[in-house]
Amino acid sequence: MTTALRARLRAALADGSRLHGTFVKLPAPDVVELCGLAGFDFVVVDLEHSVLTEADAIGLVRHAERCGLPALVRVPQVDGPLICRLLENGAAGFQLSMLSGPAQAWALVQATRFAPDGDRSVSLANRSAGFGRGGLAAFLAAERADPPLLVGQIETPWWRDGGTAWDEVIADLDVVFVGGTDLAVSLGAEPGGADLRAAVTEIEDAARRHGIAFGGWAPSPAAAKAHGLAAARYLVTGSDLQILAAGLHAAAGEGGNG
């Protein structure tokens, strides 16, 4: 089923549709189920800015898959064994933070592909492989036909140093993603200011030149344009915690002590 979810995301990206997701930071299966019912196209389970454990993340991606909702996982670094375990439990792909060089991108590709395209370890004793019911050849063929989606977060202006070309870093990605908050801090720029907008435009242009989907984060869909993400086809808005906080503040303002 995971490969079908990946295929659905890739097809939508290819036809120019906007995919809309949110970050999941709470270890509650109900959250991913509600995201699917609310109409999100995917979720990103956050192993960078949350207190989720590996076990929490595995539970979330398993439940998301059962709900027919693709779940990517945001990771702060390439950890091959961790990535392998998440894939074996239904992760649709990975979003790598602070991508700034070809070695990182290559390591992500290698960790998510079987030989000869990568060095991901093979096992059939897991739910992704149907616990071996379909056989090795069928499993490998399905994974090669629809491999994990790869999203690279651009959060520093490394391309302006002139030492690394865009194609060395993003050529094997499905999405180039603007990490706007970290990028603003790296630039010493004001969020929403001219310097940040110029950098976001450079990232968007690079994605377009290389035929890769452009994406990013905004606090809400309405704020996407102000964040330079009007053309984003992979848009992550808010997080479960942000949405919960907004709802709680609204509820308290209506009937509580506020």
**How high is the pLDDT of residue 192?**
78
Closest-CA residue to 72 (of 90, 88, 54, 59): 90
Tokens of residue 131, six digits: 């616990």
Contact 35, 22 (CB under 8 A): yes
Confidence of residue 256 (pLDDT cuts 50, 70, 90): low
Does 12 score more than 90 pLDDT?
Answer: yes
**How high is the pLDDT of residue 190?**
82
Does 1 score more than 90 pLDDT?
Answer: no
pLDDT tens digit string along 185-200?
999 988 778 999 999 9
b vs e for 60-98, b when ≥16 Cβ sit within 10 Å of the residue's Cβ? bbbbbbebebbbbbbbeebebebbbbbbbbbbbbbbbbb
pLDDT tens digit string along 17-59?
899 999 999 999 999 999 999 999 999 999 999 999 999 999 9
pLDDT tens digit string along 140-171?
999 999 999 999 999 999 999 888 899 999 99
**253 vs 108: CA distance, rounded Å:** 45
**How high is the pLDDT of residue 193?**
87
Does 258 score more than 50 pLDDT?
Answer: no
Confidence of residue 118 (pLDDT cuts 50, 70, 90): very high
